[in-house]
Structure 1
């Protein structure tokens, strides 16, 4: 029993890993990471602030985009301290409680991302299916309730994960495969039965990403059915054009997420570099690209940026 306690306390800290095989080039690797994080944080902050400040953007579509920017800011800021710490200062140690906290926030904001993408798909469906009652159906109160529900669901479902891991003894390896803490990585390290953790993790995955992706597919099935029933070709193209930014955001988010899940479940013998790259793409690419895509594809956002900048000059 005493030996068991000693082993458990021995691994109360973990060692974070940079890019496997490139540890000797951490400073060089940090340059693209710093640039990507700067663009992600500044881009999402700018989208959030311009929507909040510009009254003309206080419409359902842009309010949901504001939520997406907040959740992606959360993902970026949750990983930023340890990623830059590893690459810039070789600060690889992280305590158990700090690691579990980071894991909670990363997965929580990531689940919020998925929920907001589903809400945005619902928004596009209502806008195309019933445009005359669009603002009547999606009132500010209902949008606030949807946002609150997404946040509450994420927090409630994720809260047990750190507690379930905290009760286990970590006395195998204390080396994590990434420069941040992820549940699939942490669950491999305890030297006790992790069946409950695995089943609960799968339950969370199905209740969040599984249901959200199903609802997104159903929403776009209904959107296509509505668009194909339109008589005017111009009307069909205009309706589909309003969905392009959201479709890009869904593809950018779910493709690396599915790839990462497949690597963890079926690619156990894949090189560590593959695991590391998939995790970094999943957590960094969507927050990096989405503000750029929405800014380029949405004229109202560009005009609002211009108005905000014009006001600051005077």
Structure 2
């Protein structure tokens, strides 16, 4: 079933008599759709107020094009995963919010949920819920805006989202270092701990460690020069790296390659040991967020959670036979059950795991 308005979405959920799989553009993986949300279109865009409201089914490309025309952007640099997972379809803004997808700029601008200022969604009873609004301080009662971001459809189906925006940076520079992934973490930590306002820090196969600064041209030139000098002990050099950041955000080194795909969010200080265990088991990695995000391509059937342990964080299996989500600690699981009982008392939604 395909719905194109909020009223039809609410009616479909109220009429459901069995668990209902929901999706937008179909680029994030998970269950096949039983209900496709195609509530599309930008309903409000005020460049002067740095505010945008759009239907959850609006293609991400449409939003990015509208913002680019006004010299603005979504702060958190959302990424598309369709190519990574070998899935056809077009990424939607609702899917970005549901998975709390945040690209390399998260180290500077925060996650998707930090830019989200308002939502409308339909809960498991078919009730339309609204929270937040058009300004950052418009929060009363429970902050459902932050709760719904990253909930993977466990609490409700998004129909509308509102964001704060930022001006696009007119210039950027990339500093690269020819380091192995484990050794790169120290260099990335040094960059992120510097006063030079780094907006990206990761590691790519065949390239090495990369660090980005953005802003006005003169400021970028100065900070890139100083950052290169700071990282000189690691062999730092400036390169033409604009395209590398899309490669990192969308994990392009793994596109079209067989094997299980995993996404680990951990403490950056743990990354060298975790990466060593992954590579010893025949896996490959891509690092983002200074080592706090580890993408791993593993031999089929490898239990990465066991191989990478111990680590503080969570591992998501995007492709493979393992359970998709990390098992929750007992206290967190109890909270998740209580939330789902409140928002989805009939158990209609099937997000393939916990919040």
> Does TM-score exceed 0.5, indicating one fold?
no
Q: Going by fraction, where is helix more abundant, 1 or 2?
A: 1
Larger Rg: 1
Q: Going by fraction, where is strand more abundant, 1 or 2?
A: 2
TM (norm. structure 1) is: 0.28
Q: Higher relative contact order by CA 8 Å / sep ≥ 6: 1 or 2?
A: 1
TM (norm. structure 2) is: 0.26
